[in-house]
């Protein structure tokens, strides 16, 4: 294919893009199926879809970053930037274009930043490579860029390594690297997914401010339609490699035409109401042959409001008194520094109810969960379960209570043993705690649990890598249920999931609570999800509990300034008219 010059009013125009990847049988499978769209100058276009929709593949194709030999782009495909078909460029010319004219911010900064080089060196490398700056000039420009993206104390941070920065600061460094050569198009691939709501808002505001000041265009890739209303002028909705709907962001969000767009909007918990059950994709679409067609199957449970909150006379299953945790680091030759992660936390968990635990990174919320599981040792306080302090028990005594308090971790990829089958994963805790008379009885119980979390019996003999993220989280939940716990600690257990899968897991947790009377401590930075599932919410800041209140009351009239700041950062997407 030869380099082609065209005239267009769009900064970037994608025409009939089809991308295929080599499958297990060496055959190429089409993952992006002939999509076309445009990005006008000085405009933010949001590309929205769930995992597997093809949105990230589209961005990688634009940047020339698809794996060689494992992928191929159809001959009729074109990606035209300022009149030049990027797919016709030789590799050297493509490298010059990408990084200078087009830049990309990746989702996970810690896997994108080199851990053995300072952030200043990494920014300077781009400037020296693309703009031929000298070392001194590049360092000075790197310092200016760190100031521009809001890094505190940039004169110090320029010599810091990525591991010495917070997640939000790492993402700001990635943004500084991306804008270093003043690109005309910035591609942001899920840049706020793992960030706290306040840091997320800061990054969104920074990106929009930079776009306006530098007169860039931006392709903002996300799975969360709530973010689109905050930043995008236009939106493109993708599913299974195809574009389902595109148009002005206001039109698509307020008057969606496609059933899938409606489903995405409705799956996400809303602040204004709490349905008894969250709608799922299957409530809006059904499969007929090879096609998905619209099917309005919203039930009364999807429309009815669920009541939440405490009245004050509930049975208390867990009482935490003045819980403390400090970490120590060496200072000088003989001294040490103390970091107080939890500073005397006191709270109660009602039986059969959910206590939401929110706060920014470093607030101490995850530390509380680990302390209650005795995965970290407390430095003070009590945790009374059935009237006994589980923190003061011997290991042998605590083993009797351990099965009653279980934790679901954020990352099901890391928390499931990849060498065990699902059956082994479920049966192991039963064997350790002597549940069931023999393995035949344990297998029967494991199969019943798989059915309970909506997984097929065939999953018993399969390995974790054969399942999606949402299915792995169901397996993790089933593993907790093998011990018939009374308290489940959910540590960011739905934060990494697509909105439709998140809805399925939240419905499952609610079903289990309704059926078994489980009590939850639900830790999350997603304040919409916390409001949906919590009866009471505890807000933490720098190790202190700053507010505890019934969820509806806290969102209606927050008392503490920190709580007000958290709530003000929630993306405000309006979908009240749908359904």
pLDDT tens-digit map of 452-506: 888 899 999 999 988 877 788 889 999 998 988 999 999 988 877 788 888 888 9
Phi, psi of 371 (to 5 degrees): -65, -40
What are the boundaries of each domain within the chain? 12-266, 316-568
Contact 512, 506 (CB under 8 A): no
Give the Å distances, CA to CA, from 294 to 51, 226, 243, 284: 21, 22, 16, 6
Task: Count CA within 13 A, CB hemisphere, residue 7.
Answer: 0
Separation CA 158–CA 209 (nearest Å)? 22
What pLDDT does residue 498 have? 82
Mean local confidence (pLDDT), 143-170: 90
Confidence of residue 575 (pLDDT cuts 50, 70, 90): very low
Question: Do β-strands 519-523 and 487-491 pair in parallel, antiparallel, or remain unpaired?
Answer: parallel
567: its two tokens: 């709530």
406 has a pLDDT exceeding 80: yes
Name beta bridge partners: 523.
357, 491
135 has a pLDDT exceeding 80: yes
Write out the H or E segment, with its range, that includes residue 422: helix 422-432
Out of 97-101, 342-346, 376-380, 540-544, pick the least confident: 97-101
pLDDT tens-digit map of 227-278: 888 899 999 999 999 999 999 999 999 999 998 998 888 888 888 889 988 9
Separation CA 468–CA 456 (nearest Å)? 14
**Options 3.40.50.1110, 3.40.50.720, 3.40.50.1980, 3.40.50.300; CATH of 316-568:** 3.40.50.300
What pLDDT does residue 96 have? 85
At residue 512's C-alpha, the angle toward residues 506 and 518, to 5°, is: 110
562: its two tokens: 């920190």
Question: Do β-strands 78-81 and 84-85 pair in parallel, antiparallel, or remain unpaired?
Answer: antiparallel
Whole-prediction pTM: 0.84
Rounded mean pLDDT of the chain?
89
As to burial, measured by CB atoms within 10 angstroms (0-12 exposed, 13-18 middle, 19+ buried), residue 561 is: exposed
127: its two tokens: 């400037």
Q: Distance of alpha carbon 133 from its chain centroid, rounded?
A: 37
Nearest CA to 116 out of 125, 105, 104, 107 is that of: 125
- The rounded percent of the chain whose pLDDT value lies above 90 is 58
Separation CA 379–CA 374 (nearest Å)? 12
Question: Do β-strands 519-523 and 536-541 pair in parallel, antiparallel, or remain unpaired?
Answer: unpaired
- Choose between 514 and 7: higher pLDDT: 514
Domains 12-266 and 316-568 share a fold: yes
pLDDT tens-digit map of 315-325: 999 999 999 99
Place of tokens 């206001």: 250
572 has a pLDDT exceeding 70: no
Contact 375, 540 (CB under 8 A): no
Reduced DSSP (H G I as helix, E B as strand, rest coil) percent helix, strand, coil of the chain, to 5:
40, 25, 35
Nearest CA to 12 out of 32, 35, 31 is that of: 35
- For the CA atoms of 27, 28, 33, 36, what is the dihedral angle to 10 degrees? -160
What pLDDT does residue 390 have? 95
Give the Å distances, CA to CA, from 234 to 37, 284, 497: 11, 24, 24
Nearest CA to 200 out of 411, 39, 412, 361 is that of: 361
What pLDDT does residue 577 have? 40
Look at residue 554 and give its three-state secondary structure.
helix
Contact 4, 81 (CB under 8 A): no
Task: Classify residue 492 as left (phi > 0), alpha (psi -120 to 50) or beta.
Answer: left
As to burial, measured by CB atoms within 10 angstroms (0-12 exposed, 13-18 middle, 19+ buried), residue 344 is: middle
pLDDT tens-digit map of 513-568: 999 999 999 999 888 899 999 999 999 999 999 999 999 999 999 999 999 999 98
Q: Does domain 12-266 have CATH number 3.40.50.300?
A: yes
């Amino acid at each position: 294919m030869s380099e082609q010059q065209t005239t267009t009013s769009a900064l970037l125009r994608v025409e009939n893009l089809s991308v295929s990847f080599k499958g297990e049988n060496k055959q190429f499978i089409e993952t992006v199926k002939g999509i076309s769209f445009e990005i006008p100058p000085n405009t933010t276009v949001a590309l929205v879809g769930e995992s597997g929709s093809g949105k990230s593949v589209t961005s990688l194709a634009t940047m020339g970053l698809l794996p060689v030999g494992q992928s191929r782009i159809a001959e009729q495909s074109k990606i035209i930037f300022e009149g030049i078909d990027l797919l016709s460029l030789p590799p050297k010319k493509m490298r010059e274009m990408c990084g200078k004219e087009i830049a990309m911010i990746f989702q996970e900064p810690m896997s994108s930043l080199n851990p053995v080089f300072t952030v200043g060196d990494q920014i300077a490398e781009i400037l020296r490579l693309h703009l031929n700056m000298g070392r001194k000039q590049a360092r000075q420009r790197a310092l200016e860029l760190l100031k521009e993206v809001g890094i505190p104390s940039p004169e110090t941070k320029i010599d810091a390594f990525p591991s010495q920065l917070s997640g939000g600061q790492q993402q700001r460094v990635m943004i500084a690297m991306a804008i270093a050569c003043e690109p005309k198009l910035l591609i942001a691939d899920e840049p706020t997914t793992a960030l706290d709501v306040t840091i997320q808002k800061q990054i969104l505001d920074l990106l929009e401010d930079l776009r306006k000041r530098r007169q860039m265009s931006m392709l903002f890739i996300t799975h969360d339609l709530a973010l689109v209303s905050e930043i995008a002028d236009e939106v493109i909705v993708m599913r299974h490699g195809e574009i389902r709907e595109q148009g002005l962001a206001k039109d698509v969000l307020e008057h969606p035409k496609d059933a899938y767009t409606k489903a995405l909007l409705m799956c996400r918990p809303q602040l204004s109401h709490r349905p008894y059950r969250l709608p799922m994709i299957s409530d809006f679409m059904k499969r007929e042959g090879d096609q998905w067609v619209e099917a309005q199957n919203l039930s009364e449970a999807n429309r009815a409001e669920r009541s939440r909150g405490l009245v004050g006379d509930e049975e208390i299953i867990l009482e935490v008194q003045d819980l403390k945790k400090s970490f120590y680091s060496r200072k000088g030759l003989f001294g040490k520094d103390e970091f107080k992660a939890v500073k005397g936390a006191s709270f109660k968990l009602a039986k059969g109810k959910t206590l939401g635990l929110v706060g920014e990174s470093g607030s101490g919320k995850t530390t509380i969960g680990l302390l209650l599981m005795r995965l970290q040792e407390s430095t003070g306080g009590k945790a009374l379960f059935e009237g006994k302090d589980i923190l003061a028990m011997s290991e042998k005594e605590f083993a009797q209570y351990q099965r009653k308090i279980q934790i679901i971790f954020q990352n099901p990829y890391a928390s499931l043993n990849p060498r065990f089958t699902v059956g082994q994963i479920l049966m192991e805790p039963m064997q350790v705690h002597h549940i069931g008379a023999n393995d035949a009885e344990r297998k029967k119980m494991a199969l019943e649990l798989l059915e309970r979390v909506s997984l097929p019996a065939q999953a018993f003999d399969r390995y974790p890598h054969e399942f999606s993220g949402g299915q792995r989280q169901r397996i993790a939940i089933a593993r907790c249920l093998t011990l018939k716990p009374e308290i489940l600690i959910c540590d960011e257990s739905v934060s990494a999931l697509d909105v439709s899968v998140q809805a399925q897991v939240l419905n499952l947790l609610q079903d289990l609570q309704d059926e078994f009377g489980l009590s939850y401590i639900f830790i999350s930075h997603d304040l919409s999800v916390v409001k949906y599932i919590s009866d009471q919410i505890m807000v933490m800041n720098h190790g202190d509990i700053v507010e505890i209140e019934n969820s509806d009351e806290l969102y209606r009239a927050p008392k503490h300034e920190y709580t007000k700041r958290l709530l003000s950062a929630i993306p405000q997407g309006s979908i009240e008219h749908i359904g």
